[in-house]
Chains A and B, each alone.
Chain A
Amino acid sequence: QQQVKQSPQSLIVQKGGISIINCAYENTAFDYFPWYQQFPGKGPALLIAIRPDVSEKKEGRFTISFNKSAKQFSLHIMDSQPGDSATYFCAATFSSGSARQLTFGSGTQLTVLP
């Protein structure tokens, strides 16, 4: 099963609040879990990523929490800012034969109110 399930579909947060986006997967062959950020009219861009042997990774205000046993991972945005308003995609990669494939969640549209 190549699916990555993402929730919520949309999220509204006040400036300074914490934004939390959750993802779950079934395929234990997934071996890398990136998050992509997409602004309107632009293509997605890599934000932060984590390997499954690490439980948490932090880069500035962005933190990934990873629970391997539950097959779940989440993105936390601390001190959310209006400039963080974008669509966020969780993703997972795995090897398929000689190729690596990248599969995405359905996306979360984040709005941070000033």
Chain B
Amino acid sequence: NAGVTQTPKFRILKIGQSMTLQCAQDMNHNYMYWYRQDPGMGLKLIYYSVGAGITDKGEVPNGYNVSRSTTEDFPLRLELAAPSQTSVYFCASSYSTGQPNTEAFFGQGTRLTVV
């Protein structure tokens, strides 16, 4: 089972460059999330989606954009990379029926360095 697949695993960007982090899940989950993980700061929610065509901002959305055209894919776009976006990015998905006991499944992460 593939689960949640993120690509690339590593990337170095120059300041001002753009890139898209890819995320795909094969579990038919309705919810998908993007988090960033910084040392000692835990996981901060960037954007999330409750279904195809529906996205919403999380705690730290500035500098990022997302789209959700299909159930399976949830790409994260960085338009003008800044050093502050150096982080490890995790995509996650879950199947939510509105009940509390929802398990999120995470990808292996993308380590992004902006220089």
Chain B, range 1-55, C-beta contacts under 8 Å to A: 4, 31, 33, 35, 40-45, 48, 50
Query: Mask for A9-26, Cβ within 8 A of B = 1, else 0?
Result: 100000000000000000
A75-114 interface bits toward B, Cβ cutoff 8 Å, 1 = contact, 0 = none: 0000000000000010001010011111111110000000
Q: Say yes or no: A104 contacts B100, CB within 8 Å.
A: no
Is there a chain A Cβ closer than 8 Å to B74's Cβ?
A: no
Given the known interface contacts A32-B101, A49-B101, A93-B100, the answer about A43 and B45 at a Cβ–Cβ threshold of 8 Å is no
Additional pairs, 5, CB under 8 Å, beyond known A34-B103, A46-B104:
A32-B100, A99-B56, A100-B98, A104-B44, A106-B42
- The chain B residues found within 8 Å of chain A, CB to CB, are 4, 31, 33, 35, 40-45, 48, 50, 56, 58-59, 90, 92, 94, 96, 98, 100-109
